[in-house]
Chain A
């Protein structure tokens, strides 16, 4: 039996922990960046970030006042029997988390400017459901802030331009973004598929822990190459100069149409928030 009460509780906890606790892999990367920073202003900024992470944890308050838009990615097994129940519970959990945590009401109607104040709205919440082998489901909670999202990009390159121009565009965008997306940033890149698919892959790339390079060695190498180039720019923490502009570059891809070379880029702020909740075939939280 699908345990609605417990799953609701787990989803709300996922959103609460999501905005309060930074994943350990991200925390570690920021500590490393702080330890090796040679620019004094940047070092102070990284120190303020580390103090902030601790204060948020101690006081159980959101790390950042922009608690984001609550985005959900669900990996559901073909044999998971409670997908309908789970999907229907998500909006309820978002409304509850908005008052309980609290989350900032962040969903504005683009036409009349009204805000329902529950982080829901027309065509919401944003959910991406992927079917996979298995009989359980994993829910990824991904609260995404506005400042970093504003620096996203899509390039429809020609195949002749390919990787060389892709790298150039990525570097240009990080330089242009400067301090606006709250660096040190995480850069998500999606290649191939089509306009929408490249963008979705770029966002999904951000779900991968920062200490896990792409499993394909040649792609992992490109991630490293891009990271080194970005960090040699000298944008630094909060864009005031420094050694670490980016904590990681994460690339995902799918095959492309022979006439196209789509590249999507989504930037994530240092406050790289994500949580996951697993539910088994019996509808219980694992």
Chain B
């Protein structure tokens, strides 16, 4: 495994280099979008003046607080990415993001879309909300806050070495989750047969 320190906009060549199990620390523009925000962004064709080229799309619903006129991130770990499985292929066709950040991995639809659009899926540690808040840094702006509320809004951050992010689905069709799932299934059958006798 290799370790990379990347800054947005991340280019095509860099994405192609990344392989499953590599570790990434990401700086630059990262924005959050969960189910609702995916649907809104696709329906609206994006937000005027917000160029997503080479950015990080983060599956997260953060806890935020307002100090004076400024929003600050309190805790912002990843949400379960699988909920966006049916939405992501179209999203990647429409918007040129280069990294999807989430937890738990995604399915075959997204894996194919990652290959097609040369995008990687990276995993951030689930529940590590305070560590994420530190890496995400300052809030640049927020979209859809009134319409969608705090956890579902599109929060745009100026990240500083956000990570560690594990490349778990790369742009070559490999998924770490598929590998682990196959191994644990095999191990389970072994336990059933040898330990439980079922």
A233 touches B130 (CB 8 A): no
Interface on chain A toward B: helix, strand, loop, or mixed SS? Answer: loop
The residues of B that contact A48 with a CB separation of less than 8 Å are: 125, 128, 131, 164
B188 touches A239 (CB 8 A): no
Which one of A172-180, A209-217, A254-262, A275-283 is at the B interface? A172-180
CB of A208 within 8 A of chain B?
no
Which one of A62-70, A121-129, A152-160 is at the B interface? A62-70
Task: Give the contacting residue for A64; candidates B77, B104, B196; CB below 8 A.
Answer: B77
Which one of A3-11, A77-85, A163-171 is at the B interface? A163-171
Q: How large is the interface on A (under 10, 10 to 19, 20 to 34, 35 or more residues)?
A: 35 or more
Give the shortest distance, in Å, between B72 (CB) and chain A (any CB).
10
A115 touches B103 (CB 8 A): no
Given contacts A62-B63, A65-B61, A102-B65, contact A240 B23 (CB under 8 A): no
Question: Which of A65, A67, A103, A150: most chain B CB closer than 10 A?
Answer: A65
CB of B110 within 8 A of chain A?
no
Interface on chain B toward A: helix, strand, loop, or mixed SS? Answer: mixed
Q: How many Cβ-Cβ contacts under 8 Å join chain A to chain B?
A: 159
Task: Give the contacting residue for A52; candidates B105, B125, B179; CB below 8 A.
Answer: B125
CB of A104 within 8 A of chain B?
yes
CB of A238 within 8 A of chain B?
yes
Would you list 14 pairs from A and B whose C-beta atoms are within 8 A, ordered by A residue? A41-B1, A41-B166, A41-B176, A48-B125, A55-B130, A66-B61, A164-B198, A178-B104, A180-B104, A232-B187, A239-B104, A239-B180, A240-B123, A270-B127
**A residues bordering B, Cβ < 8 Å?**
40-41, 44-45, 48-49, 51-52, 55-56, 59, 61-67, 102-105, 115, 145, 147, 150, 164-165, 167-168, 171-172, 175, 178-180, 182, 229, 232-241, 269-271
